[in-house]
A = this chain, B = another copy of it.
Amino acid sequence: MKNLLIATTALVATAGVAAADISVSGDGRMGLVYDDRDNAGLPGDSNIKMSSRIRIGFSASGETDNGLSFGGFVRADNSGGGAAGRAGSVFISGSFGKLSMGDVDGAAKAAVGQVSGIGYTGLSDLNEITYLNSGTDLDGDGNQDTLYPTPSALYEYAAGSTVFYVGIGQIGTQIGTVSVPGQLLPAVGEVGQSYSVGAKWSNDNGLTIAGGYEATNDVAGTGDASDWVLGAQWTNGTWGVKGVYLQGEWAGFGDVQQYAVSGDWTSGATTVTAFYTKKDLQDFDTTSESYGLGAAYDLGGGATLAGGIASVSPLNDGDKYTVGDLGIKFNF
């Protein structure tokens, strides 16, 4: 069945017949970003640059005769990866839970997530910790999502106020991207099976507690990598705080410790956010530290004025840099 997103659909729909199944959405942003490193090391270059983008996404959905839901999502800009199973995702769900496949998060990340970020561009996701299993890295956002990217499957099941998650990466050994010791940067090599579990519990008073475990076998022939992660979040509508803590032993990296905290304060259309994120590779005596402050003002209709400023000392670099941005982001 091809569903026609045209006026005949509208006519049919008003007569109560089955609805069409693909929705089109999008996002955009425009503004200025600041980085106190010379942007390309060129004489006469500027620390301030314009930065804009527009992306279109497609959300598909349907329902089988016996009431199972199914669907998927992909963006136009990563539609090539979506057709190859490395971007976007598809799912089927019912009383048994929800099973997704494609560029999906590992269970630990799906349960615990990330603390709040800042800026109209997200400022390179400096607020985020690095998970072992968090998708394929091919979603085109330019940020490193995962150390060992691979098409994955994620199973979710909600029981009362608790949601359980189970994830696995592509089955067997992969020739793919493996991490660079001491830098949390990807490189090419062989990795074995990845898998993960997680759970998230929420109550009616705005409290959420979550935890997860994730592992990847046979990383570049050097051994296994695994970690556990805990997160807690509380909000009363005006104030919100979130913290995540990850500890593990990653083949090639040795002992890994990461933690991040954020606080949000909302008043009317304004939200002010601060975060602090630290990544510690003890065996390499290397530490990355980021902290930042941002504010966002909801203009209504899908537009938000947002800006932020952050300090970052990258893992592979002893120096400290200031970055910032100010612009408008859109949801269509």
Residue positions of A touching B, CB distance < 8 A: 1-14, 19-26, 28-30, 39-40, 42-56, 58-66, 68, 70-80, 82-85, 88-92, 99, 101-102, 140, 142, 151-153, 170-175, 190, 192, 218, 299-303, 328, 330-332
CB A95 to nearest CB in B, in angstroms, measures: 15
**Which residue on B lies nearest to A175, using beta carbons?**
B40
Complex CA–CA separation, A70 to B47 (angstroms): 27
What are 16 contact pairs spanning A and B, CB under 8 A? Answer: A8-B13, A9-B23, A30-B101, A42-B172, A42-B190, A43-B173, A50-B152, A54-B88, A55-B82, A62-B301, A62-B331, A66-B300, A70-B301, A77-B79, A77-B83, A83-B140
Task: Say whether A74 contacts B76, CB under 8 Å.
Answer: yes
CB A268 to nearest CB in B, in angstroms, measures: 12
- A23-B2, A90-B53 are contacts. A172–B44 as well, Cβ < 8 Å? yes
**Which residue on B lies nearest to A192, using beta carbons?**
B44
Task: Say whether B172 contacts A68, CB under 8 Å.
Answer: no
Complex CA–CA separation, A66 to B300 (angstroms): 8
**Copies of chain A in the complex:** 3
Q: Which residues of B contact A2 (CB under 8 A)?
A: 23, 25, 59, 331
**Which residue on B lies nearest to A11, using beta carbons?**
B13
CB A190 to nearest CB in B, in angstroms, measures: 6
Complex CA–CA separation, A170 to B49 (angstroms): 6
Across the interface, A60 reaches (CB within 8 A) one of B12, B26, B80, B90, namely B26
Complex CA–CA separation, A80 to B43 (angstroms): 29
- A25-B22, A50-B151 are contacts. A332–B6 as well, Cβ < 8 Å? no
Task: Say whether A89 contacts B300, CB under 8 Å.
Answer: no
Complex CA–CA separation, A40 to B332 (angstroms): 42
Task: Say whether B62 contacts A330, CB under 8 Å.
Answer: yes
Task: Say whether A302 contacts B76, CB under 8 Å.
Answer: no
Task: Say whether A52 contacts B89, CB under 8 Å.
Answer: yes
Q: Which residues of B contact A51 (CB under 8 A)?
A: 85
- A8-B19, A19-B7 are contacts. A330–B72 as well, Cβ < 8 Å? yes
CB A148 to nearest CB in B, in angstroms, measures: 14
Task: Say whether B171 contacts A140, CB under 8 Å.
Answer: no
Complex CA–CA separation, A72 to B28 (angstroms): 7
CB A229 to nearest CB in B, in angstroms, measures: 24
- A13-B11, A301-B63 are contacts. A22–B332 as well, Cβ < 8 Å? yes
Task: Say whether B53 contacts A83, CB under 8 Å.
Answer: yes
Q: Which residues of B contact A58 (CB under 8 A)?
A: 24, 26, 56, 76
Complex CA–CA separation, A12 to B139 (angstroms): 32
- A25-B3, A45-B172, A76-B79 are contacts. A303–B70 as well, Cβ < 8 Å? yes
Complex CA–CA separation, A75 to B79 (angstroms): 9
Q: Which residues of B contact A84 (CB under 8 A)?
A: 53, 142
CB A34 to nearest CB in B, in angstroms, measures: 11
